[in-house]
Amino acid sequence: MTYRIEKITKIIILLIMTAALALTGAVPSFAAADNNSKDGRMVSSAEIDWEDAPDVEGTSVIMIDGGSGEILYEKNAEERRDPASITKILTCLVVLENMDLDDEITVAEDYDGAGENIAVKADERFTVEQLLYAMMVGSANDAAEVLALAAGGDMETFCDMMNERAKECGAKNTSFTNPNGMNYAGQENHRTTAYDIAMIAREAMKNDTFRKIVSTAEYRIPTTNKSEARNIESTNPCLGLYEGTTGIKTGTTSVAGYCFCGSAKKDDTELIVVNLNSGREQRFSETIKLWDYGFSKYYTYKAAEGGKVLAEERVSRGDKRAVNVGVEEDFDITLNKGYDRKNISLKTDIDEDLKAPIKKGTEVGTITAVNRDGEAVAASPLIALENVDEGGILSYIGIADEDRLFFFAGLAAAVILFMIIVRIIKRMNYRKNKRRRAQRQRNVRRREWEKERNPFDRNV
């Protein structure tokens, strides 16, 4: 009996361990992919043929796919130049990320600077929203300075905020010393590149409020405590000239020349052009030529949607057995017109042995788009889409907190089953012993009966 109970106990323990392993191993694995990415992305498979691109007079020019960031045309794109009022793209983005639209600002003093302005007056009150429209639609230099002082406290601090944000956008050679791009004495180092402006504009266009502002052709600031209502018209003529124009900003100074950063969208493809130091009208006509060229040759394919779960990956020592993994933003790829997107497949390469705690947004691997020849055409970081906290003591043996109830329920069921089996065995043994006792009693009575019948049998 003891042997049978021990054997059954071992079987039950084995079943419990098997169930625990099933709980900890129920996460799919994924094929790995080579990653030769630079700055989080790989070069697209789009064959850039600049020989048939239109001629442009601008000194520094670039066109990118606003979705993928792919460079589709460039001319001296890394040359450091003065950007004039295109500076305000970054000013607007920094203000939007640090202030609310309905925040009220009181002007400290009358504006006596040069260039476009709305003639703000000392003690005049505006909302942040009104000043942003004045700055981006009408290119008001005074609005830019008022916003910078409100957001940064002082001009130097705000410029530090701008330059730090520029780096986060992917800019590599930008140093801004004022918020409006004016050529102030002693600020000759106010410089950037066409490439950097394209990266900043691409990041800014991810902000819905920014997109709304820069796509506005006319804006009206109502009467303030110091001035009558102001009607503001956009300095961007492409908003009325080119179907699909979505923004962004003009710029002109004697040092910078005529500059323009423009964006246009057709279907799911948005192209951003930066044209520095071109002609007064050519900056717009050249941008339109580049848009036509870009839309005729390329399109944007959304390979993966930002925030959508693409995979689950096993996590050890966590309150969850797995973490949902995806891309933070849409994973866009630039493809040649005529190239079938069905030829693109996705592979994920997720870090091994992920351990809790894991914070939402933590990079945990790479997703790679591969063409039918097995060549990587683009890549993007994979991130954790949720938090995974450190689990309890059971997580150290592979049982996540979320599985504890199931584990203990299974354990309780196993104990009950064990007790039932033990009871059955005891009952079976009791009946067996009872039969044995009855048999022994029958044997004794038979021997006694046989002895009585044959008293001379000495062997009885």
Q: Which of 44, 60, 88, 263 is catalytic?
A: 88
Helix (H) or strand (E) holding 442: helix 404-453
Closest of 373, 234, 220, 394 to residue 320, by C-alpha: 394
What the block records as the tokens of 290 is 């580049």
Distance of CA 351 to the CA centre of its chain: 17
Q: Which of 45, 68, 139, 278 is catalytic?
A: 139
3-state secondary structure 359-424: CCCCEEEEEEEECCCCCEEEEEEEEECCCECECCHHHHHCCCHHHHHHHHHHHHHHHHHHHHHHHH
* Residue 249 in marked binding region: yes
The answer to whether the beta carbons of residues 232 and 133 sit under 8 Å apart is yes
Q: How many CB atoms lie within 10 A of CB 284?
A: 22
Question: In the annotation, is 29 catalytic?
Answer: no
Residues forming a β-bridge with 319:
none
Question: In the annotation, is 380 catalytic?
Answer: no
Question: In the annotation, is 139 catalytic?
Answer: yes
Q: Which of 85, 234, 380, 395 is catalytic?
A: 85
C-alpha distances (whole Å) from 278 to each of 15, 264, 302 are: 77, 19, 33
Residues in the chain: 460
* Residues classed as catalytic: 85, 88, 139
Would you list which residues are annotated within the binding site for substrate?
249
